Structure 1
Amino acid sequence: MNLISIRDLTKVQIKEIYQLVPKYTTRKKTDDLKDKYIGLIFEKPSTRTRISFEVGIYQLGGVAIELDEKQLQLSRGETIKDTANIFNCYLDGIILRVIKHETILEFAKYLKIPVINALSDKEHPCQVLSDIYTIMQHKNIGLDELNKIKFVYIGDANNVCMSLIYISEMLGMNSYFVIPKKYQPKQKFKDNIRITDDISSVKDADIIYTDVWTSMGQEKEKKKRIKIFKPYQVNSKLLSLAKSDCIVMHCLPANRGEEITDDVLDGKNSVVLKQAENRLYVQKALLVYLFSQK
């Protein structure tokens, strides 16, 4: 079983993964992944995703093998097909962070081992799987109660945003995605997903979520994006429109003073550190779940 898109999971499967999480919230080592060798290829920089996966694999008794693409024959023109077939001989799973989503899809065509998307230009499924768990934890609600809260994402329609839209659709969440018109996704979504450029949509929000305005690979657009997205900054004035117990989320890294101000990121409503911590626990549960599937 693979996790390439968050849509690869059903609501039932997400619930089953979350039921495993409490078992894996300590540093205690287990043998769930004993004798499992899992490769990691990261074409983009990573802090939280890489460390949480490597630590998680070790805590589960497995072996994480970092595969530097520049040190593989891929860098000299060997095909993904041939590389994947070799991985099938040596590895029990592969975790990929790629520049182009198509790279993961191409690997998945030939791999007979679990494939996990650790971020692509299209999606970030592991991030949002942990995010929803964090929301449930802080709002003290179950998966079936997520439709009772108001979720508001503010920012760019990037990979994290798209995965949040997909999981919100699946779980029936009452979700608003506040994005400048020029940058809004073009596809149609279910009725519980509202795409708007109206910043007043944050009124009475239970959750405000933001992310960087300029993703990796878009650096040349940075000045232009800052100018367009400036009215969408998450600051104390905007937060005052939400409920008093609204939680503020950010997948990190953050550009302080751009999409979010210091006082909000470090303030009492912020759960960003717990959000990051939960990456380890939820991904451990995910690994155990994926490797238990036939």
Structure 2
Amino acid sequence: MNQPVVLQQMKSKLNGKDFLQISDFTKDELMDLIEFGIKLKNMQKLGEPHRYLEGKTLAMIFEKSSTRTRVSFETGMYQLGGMAQFLNKDDIQMGNGETVADTAKVLSRFVDAIMIRTYGHDIVVELAENATVPVINGLTDDAHPCQVMADLMTIYEKKGSFNGLKLTFVGDGNNMSQSLLMGCAIMGIDCYIAVPKGNEIKKGIFQMAKEKAKLSGAKIVQTYDAQEAVKAADIIYTDVWASMGWEGDLQARLAEFADYQVSEELVNGAKDDYLFMHCLPAKRGEEVAAAVIDGENSVVFDQAENRLHVQKAILATLV
């Protein structure tokens, strides 16, 4: 299939590059991917074929399970004319008889791209260093870049611009909030992170976001005061308090985060037309009240859908 000019231009800059973390890309590069994702979304809604990856194959390594990541990547490759292979931790030898480096080299001989959802970020980095095909980070303990791309695409669709926006994340300084902070810093969105003490963003990541924010003009703030952080917010975002793989006393965790629930009372401090966002899955009654996530300001399912479209933009551009 003939590729549109915009895709040809993007490929000239990004073809063959890995997608490991948001900070690896410029504002213009991320904006190109977002706009291309919107174009692909419109094409899919209109039934227009866009099989730009005819005959291409994506290997999907899952050491952590996920509904949205698997279905969106698998469906995306199909709609782009390619195919995806699901490989869970029991299907391959990586880390159990075969090194990450050897796995990368072997898969590179078979497939055109690798997506991995795993624990340590160092695993993704090592995979990319040894693969000769693009590697896409489907999630690590430090970063969730594909989700943030879907979030930015959703914000752009709903607000029409990133200029002058304030996003407040309430909850844990985890992989989601870290990638979101970085995305906001690059795109010029003021970002406030409200966390309980002891659950802050990693210092190195926060400092990098500060440096990115100097270029975009974004304001980056971390605080322990959730009510202050949500004042006049355009977007309120949260995530589960105990991320996948977290081990510890759940009741103690719930008590520690009790004052950081996105409740009906908390969102009263935001703008009337605020967007509520959550990467899902959500636990109603814990990090968010049911009335908020199921209310008229919630765009959580638009976010989930946009994983499909923006990941198609990433795949079509990198492969």
For residue 194 of structure 1, what is the aligned residue in structure 2?
A: 221
What is the TM-score with the length of structure 2 in the denominator? 0.87
Return the match for 2:100 from 61, 72, 80: 80
Between the two proteins, what is the percent identity of the paired residues?
Answer: 44
- Taking the aligned partners of 2:97 and 2:266, their CA distance within structure 1 comes to 50
> How large is the Cα RMSD of the aligned pairs?
1.4
What is the TM-score with the length of structure 1 in the denominator? 0.94
The aligned amino acid for 1:158 is: N
Q: CA deviation at 1:186?
A: 4.4
Return the match for 2:40 from 4, 8, 24: 24
Q: CA deviation at 1:46?
A: 0.1
For residue 234 of structure 2, what is the aligned residue in structure 1?
A: 206
Contact 1:30–1:60 (CA<8 Å) still a contact in 2?
A: yes
For residue 105 of structure 1, what is the aligned residue in structure 2?
A: 125
Find out whether 1:277 has 2:305 as its counterpart.
yes
Structure 1, unaligned stretches of length 5 or more? none
The aligned amino acid for 2:300 is: V
Contact 1:175–1:194 (CA<8 Å) still a contact in 2?
A: yes
For residue 176 of structure 2, what is the aligned residue in structure 1?
A: 160
Q: CA deviation at 1:68?
A: 2.6
- SS of the aligned residue for 2:70 comes to helix
Return the match for 1:51 from 58, 71, 87: 71
- SS of the aligned residue for 2:198 comes to helix
For residue 10 of structure 1, what is the aligned residue in structure 2?
A: 26
For residue 170 of structure 1, what is the aligned residue in structure 2?
A: 186
Q: Deviations over 1:55-83 (max 9, x none)?
A: 00000001101123312233641112222
Which structure 2 residues correspond to residues 247-258 of structure 1 after superposition, within 5 A?
A: 247-258=275-286
Contact 2:38–2:153 (CA<8 Å) still a contact in 1?
A: no
- SS of the aligned residue for 2:248 comes to helix
Contact 1:214–1:221 (CA<8 Å) still a contact in 2?
A: no
Q: CA deviation at 1:140?
A: 2.1
The aligned amino acid for 1:194 is: V
Displacement over 4 Å in runs of 4+: none
- SS of the aligned residue for 1:118 comes to strand
Contact 2:34–2:149 (CA<8 Å) still a contact in 1?
A: no
Instruction: Evaluate the alpha carbon distance shift between residue 185 and residue 107 of structure 1 in structure 2; reply closer, same or farther with a 3 A threshold.
Output: same
Structure 2, unaligned stretches of length 5 or more? 1-16, 214-218
Instruction: Evaluate the alpha carbon distance shift between residue 50 and residue 90 of structure 1 in structure 2; reply closer, same or farther with a 3 A threshold.
Output: same
Return the match for 2:53 from 33, 52, 62: 33
Number of residues of Structure 1 aligned to a counterpart in Structure 2: 287
